[in-house]
Amino acid sequence: MSTDTGFRDELPGVDRLLTLSDGVVAIAITLLVLQLNVPDPAKLTDPASASELATQLGKGADSLISYVISFYVIAQFWLVHHRVFRRITGQREGLAWWNFAFLFTITIMPFTSNLVGKFSANPLAVDIFAVNLLLAILATHLTVTYGHRKNLLTAESPREMQVAQARAAASAFVIVLSIGIAWVNTGAAKYCWLLLAVAPQVADRWSARRPA
């Protein structure tokens, strides 16, 4: 009679999920650069003019800003993804599907990022990208939740669980905040996403002041 442990050993290991995930993230980051366009020399009166070239490059500033922010955000998600999988000791098919849900949000990001680059002043475009980020956070959280329910995670204390939940909530709060701000100031909404680097540290300090 097979045990749950034996069944788990027959499934693909976590290493394969990590390899696949790393590859998908690498491709997504690479695709981001395709939204940057080199100015057409035919549009310049004098292709040798530095000022004309600078003017044309300036017209693509929104796409460049969108690229930098998107690259940074995907890098942050990759770091969080690896922190999550360092705690996972086994793998089941359900875990793979939740990981695929996370990868879906990453693969769609070059499109939503390009949308923001081309419609930088449109609050709907900004919110579509923000919803993309929110879904990535949700998929990551549900991956951890599934692993916890199926006993696939290393043992963690109530304090560690509290910190993890606070981090997810802080990141989600930043994204939801940017969705609302977009209808007032799209530029401020986009720069809100940079707070995703600060949100975990704020959550850690908040959790440290609360009883487990």
Q: Are 71 and 30 in contact (CB under 8 A)?
A: no
Of 41, 110, 100, the residue nearest 70 (C-alpha)? 110
- State the 10-residue block means of pLDDT for the chain, 212 residues long: 46 78 95 86 82 84 88 91 86 90 96 92 95 94 88 71 80 92 92 82 74 60
> What is the pLDDT, as a whole number, of residue 16?
86
pLDDT tens, position by position, 156-177: 656 677 777 788 888 899 999 9
Q: Which residues contact 212 (CB under 8 A, 6 or more apart)?
A: 157, 158, 159, 162
> What is the pLDDT, as a whole number, of residue 103?
96
Q: Quote the DSSP letter at residue 154.
A: P
> What is the pLDDT, as a whole number, of residue 212?
55
What is this structure's pTM?
0.83
> What is the pLDDT, as a whole number, of residue 59?
83
> What is the pLDDT, as a whole number, of residue 211?
66
